[in-house]
Structure formats: structure tokens, C-alpha cells
Amino acid sequence: MADTDVLVVGAGMAGLAAADRLVARGRRVVIVEARDRLGGRIHTTHAPELASPVELGAEFVHGRPAELVALIEALGLTLVAVPERHRRGPGRPPLPDLRRSLARLLEAGDASHDRPVAELLDETRGTGEPGEVEAVARYLEGFHAADLSLLGSRSLAENENAGAEDGEDVHRIREGYGALIERFVARIDPARCEIRLGQRVTALHWGPREVRSAVRTGNGRTEVTARQAVVTLPLPVLCELVEATGPDAIDPAPPQWQTALRTLRMGSAHRAVLGFDRRWWAPDGENGPSFVHGGAEAFPVWWTALPSHEALLTGWTGGPRAAALSGQPEGVMLRAALESLASVFRRDVAELRSALRLAYTHDWTADPLSRGAYSYGGVGAIEARELLARPVGGTVVLAGEAVARKGRNATVHGALASGREAADTLFAS
Ligand SMILES: Cc1cc2nc3c(=O)[nH]c(=O)nc-3n(C[C@H](O)[C@H](O)[C@H](O)COP(=O)(O)OP(=O)(O)OC[C@H]3O[C@@H](n4cnc5c(N)ncnc54)[C@H](O)[C@@H]3O)c2cc1C
């Protein structure tokens, strides 16, 4: 007899969403999570000096995605609106309206013909305002964490449509994203859901109505058997298990997964959270800027903690620039961040260093349990995600941000929806 009804691999938002739904419908669940904490790419920390939480993974709620907003409200958490005023650093030409410019370029370049976004941008170069295409390219690399020679134009258009449907406003969770995970887990009945932390699934063997998983624990190996499984592994970790030929593999690897997974890409992004002795960017207690954009810096975009007046600045880099920084020691990453900040705000780096009190970063690309920040779709990704959302043999189903559909990949709300959908699919199959 199987150990449990459903094995859920991974305890990020997708895994917890699947478990919550399965348990609510009477299934027994075992969640196996390789980290010694819950949440995956939601990772909130707290500094004693700060009232606000520090987000090392997801930070914003983009728009008002209905399922996520309902969950946040049901768990008694508070959404705080982030003023989204974008501007260039001092002494630089003004920033175009990036969303409007992007919409124009997608239309001018016929995004419905699926091809790399870099190609589409090349064709439209020279149209519009001087520097507009370059500014849009920088924005896309940063926001989508994407290499534009790989990002597919239809996937991008789908992401943009999802953004328009969910709304353009931006919020944070006052208590931090980590509180969402804590309260979400607390509502899952522990009598029906066992969570095993610090245990890594190294192989999945499955057949009709049975899944056997090999699991590496802190002091050896074990096995978990189940009637069905929801697999929420981050994209590169999943691809490795699907393509492996040795004992550490998904066996049998559905051939349609291999082709479909190749159209999806994992993006690189880094954030550096820097705490200062005072809000030097907003003297005299003013609000000051919210988002400030530079140019060629390693960390070209910076945002403040507004509406909070905490003396915090967050630097962001995504795409090839972020990939180039990955694997560097934390000190090198933070030095690059401080130098970028000095360049974007036209400040003296030594002066900034002496005012610096706290610094946080996390290299998600070097992290073996994510191997990137979040995914983006290549050419053909929309059809591939449709295929990947189908269960295999009624036994195994994929979930997680990378397979989230309707343009919601790369987000917490996409992971939530995909976990719930995976649970529903297992019921139906
Ligand atoms: C820096 C950064 C900023 C972001 N900003 C935002 C934002 O502002 N807004 C937003 O909506 N989204 C944001 N995201 C994206 C968002 O965090 C993710 O889309 C979402 O959290 C992914 O959830 P998931 O469950 O699909 O994957 P994960 O959270 O990665 O969960 C998968 C779990 O599987 C575990 N695992 C891996 N390998 C194994 C194994 N072999 N065995 C068992 N367990 C394993 C991992 O440890 C992990 O806990 C950001 C992400 C990053 C990295």
C-alpha cells in the first residue's frame, strides 16, 4: 500500500497551493521539500533595525490577481499600495512611458508572429522616439529577467495581456510574503498533510496509479510512495531530472515533456537591499522618488521602501547582466550594487559606503534548488505550457510558476493558480 494519496514535490507557493486544495478535498498528502524552510522563492527575512520585512525573493503583488488577493485577505494580511513613479537618475534624459512604448512596438512588429523579441525590436529600431527601443529592451531584460534573443514575442504579448487584465498597480504585503506562507501552511490540516523539510527528491518512478520517489535525507536515503504526484520543481531542476538517463531521473520521462520544456527558459535576476543611516535621497522628510532608472550599470534600477520611510534602497538587475554576476562572492555582488547606486544617483561611492548599515542579497541563479529567479517563455512556449499542464497517465502532474498559463508565469499568483489547477486535474483524471 502507498504511503500516501499524493506526493507533492516542493513546498513553494505551487506545492502548498496544491496540498491545501488536496487536503481540503479529503486526500492525504506528503510534501517533500529539499530546503530546511518553506516558501522556495518566497524568502522573507527580518532585520532587528527595521520595521519592514526584507524580501530576498518575491516582493510585489503585481496588479490585483483575484486568487492571490483573496488568499491574502482570507489570511488577514494587509496589502500596501506602492507608488509607481518611475524616473531617470539625475542628469539623464527623461524616461519614456515604457508600457506604452512596448505596446506600440509589439503592435508595429506583429508580435503574433512568434519569434525572438530581439528580432522584433531590431525591425522596429529607428521608429518612435530616439532611444525608445533601447529603453524598452533594458526594461524587458530587467523585468522579465530575460535574454531577448530567447524571449518569444507571443509569450511576451501574453504576459502583457495578463498584466493588463490583472491591473497595473503594485502592492506589497505589509507583514511580508513570508507571513503569507506561514499562515497558508497553518491552515492546512496537519493530520492529513505531512511536511518533510530538508529532504531532496532525487528520482521519480511512476506507473499506473503509483509513484515511487527516491529521497535523500540529511543522514541517508528513503522512499516515499503515493498514488499520485504533483511536481513543482523549478524549471532547471525539473529539466535535469527529465533529461537524465541514470538512476536519478524521472522514469519514464514523458517524451512530450522533453520537447515542451525546451521552449521554456529560466531567467537570472538579482536584488541588493541596502539599508542606510538616513534617507539621503529624500532630505527633509519628503517622500522622494519611488523607482529610479540608470543605464548601463550592473544594477540599473533602484526603488525605495515607499510608502514606508524606512532608509532602504533595493537595486535590481535581470537578464544577461544578472547572469554575468551569478556565482560571484556576496562581497563582489554588493560592491557592484553600491557602485551602481553611486552612478545612478550621481553620488560618491565612499560617501555611500560610510552611510551603509545593512546589505542583503541572494544569488538565486547559483542556488542549486532554483538555479534562476523565474522563467520566461521562448518561441512556442504557449502551446508547450498547455501540454505540460496535462497529467501523465492520471498519475503525475506538473505545477509551478514555469508551467503557469495565461501569461502568469514568473509570478506568485501564477504559482498559486498552477498548484490549485494541478490538484483539480488529479481529481478529474
Ligand atoms: C529575486 C526574485 C524576485 C521575485 N519577485 C517577484 C515579485 O515581485 N512578484 C511575484 O509575483 N513574483 C516574484 N518572483 C517570482 C516568484 O517568487 C515565483 O514565481 C514563485 O515564488 C515560484 O513558486 P513555485 O512554487 O513555482 O517555485 P519555488 O518557490 O521555487 O518552489 C519549488 C520548491 O521546490 C524545492 N525543490 C527544489 N528541488 C527539489 C528536490 N529535488 N526535492 C524536493 N524539493 C525541491 C525548492 O527548494 C522550492 O522550495 C520573484 C522571484 C525571485 C527569485
pTM higher than 0.95: yes
Task: Confirm or reject: Cβ of 362 under 6 Å from ligand 1.
Answer: no
- End position of a domain, from candidates 124, 140, 166: 166
Task: Confirm or reject: Cβ of 363 under 6 Å from ligand 1.
Answer: no
- End position of a domain, from candidates 166, 189, 207: 166
Same domain, 340 and 416: no
Task: Confirm or reject: Cβ of 373 under 6 Å from ligand 1.
Answer: yes
Atom of ligand 1 nearest to the CA of 372: 53
CB 347 within 8 A of CB 297: no
What is the C-alpha to C-alpha distance for residues 66 and 427, in angstroms, rounded to an integer? 23
What is the C-alpha to C-alpha distance for residues 156 and 361, in angstroms, rounded to an integer? 28
Task: Confirm or reject: Cβ of 399 under 6 Å from ligand 1.
Answer: no
Same domain, 283 and 217: no
CATH number, domain of 192, equals 3.50.50.60
Please choose from 54, 374, 420 the residue to mutate so as to test ligand 1's pocket, defined by most ligand atoms within 8 A of CB: 374
Measured in angstroms, how far is the CA atom of residue 374 from the centroid of ligand 1?
7
What type of residue sits at position 338? L
Task: Confirm or reject: Cβ of 145 under 6 Å from ligand 1.
Answer: no
Task: Confirm or reject: Cβ of 269 under 6 Å from ligand 1.
Answer: yes
Same domain, 257 and 391: yes
Among protein residues, the one with the nearest Cα to ligand 1's atom 50 is 58
Same domain, 122 and 250: no
State the DSSP H helix or E strand holding residue 258, giving kind and residue range, or none if neither. helix 255-261
What is the predicted pLDDT for the residue at 334?
96
Decide if 55 is inside a domain.
Answer: no
What is the predicted pLDDT for the residue at 428?
86
Decide if 371 is inside a domain.
Answer: no
Number of domains in the chain: 3
Measured in angstroms, how far is the CA atom of residue 267 from the centroid of ligand 1?
12
Task: Confirm or reject: Cβ of 404 under 6 Å from ligand 1.
Answer: no
Measured in angstroms, how far is the CA atom of residue 240 from the centroid of ligand 1?
17
Same domain, 195 and 232: yes
Q: What angle do CA 379, 380, 381 make, to 5 degrees?
A: 95
Same domain, 393 and 344: no
Decide if 236 is inside a domain.
Answer: yes
Measured in angstroms, how far is the CA atom of residue 122 from the centroid of ligand 1?
32
Atom of ligand 1 nearest to the CA of 56: 1
Same domain, 257 and 321: no
Decide if 49 is inside a domain.
Answer: no
- Would you list the DSSP string of 103-154? HHHHHHTTTTS--BHHHHHHHHTTSSSTTHHHHHHHHHHHHH---TTTSBHH
What is the predicted pLDDT for the residue at 98?
86
Decide if 171 is inside a domain.
Answer: no
Decide if 186 is inside a domain.
Answer: yes
Measured in angstroms, how far is the CA atom of residue 69 from the centroid of ligand 1?
18
Decide if 83 is inside a domain.
Answer: no
Among protein residues, the one with the nearest Cα to ligand 1's atom 12 is 411
What is the C-alpha to C-alpha distance for residues 411 and 103, in angstroms, rounded to an integer? 21
User: What are residue 333's DSSP bridge partners?
Assistant: none
Same domain, 154 and 199: no
Task: Confirm or reject: Cβ of 234 under 6 Å from ligand 1.
Answer: yes
| Average pLDDT per 10 consecutive residues for the chain, totaling 429 residues | 94 98 97 98 95 97 97 98 92 87 84 90 82 90 97 96 94 98 98 98 94 95 97 98 93 92 98 97 91 96 96 98 96 97 98 97 98 98 95 94 97 98 92
Decide if 48 is inside a domain.
Answer: no
Measured in angstroms, how far is the CA atom of residue 300 from the centroid of ligand 1?
23
Residue 144 domain boundaries: 92-166
What is the C-alpha to C-alpha distance for residues 125 and 117, in angstroms, rounded to an integer? 12
Task: Confirm or reject: Cβ of 236 under 6 Å from ligand 1.
Answer: no
Same domain, 262 and 387: yes
Put residue 346 in one of left, alpha, beta given phi > 0 → left and psi -120 to 50 → alpha.
left
Measured in angstroms, how far is the CA atom of residue 13 from the centroid of ligand 1?
7
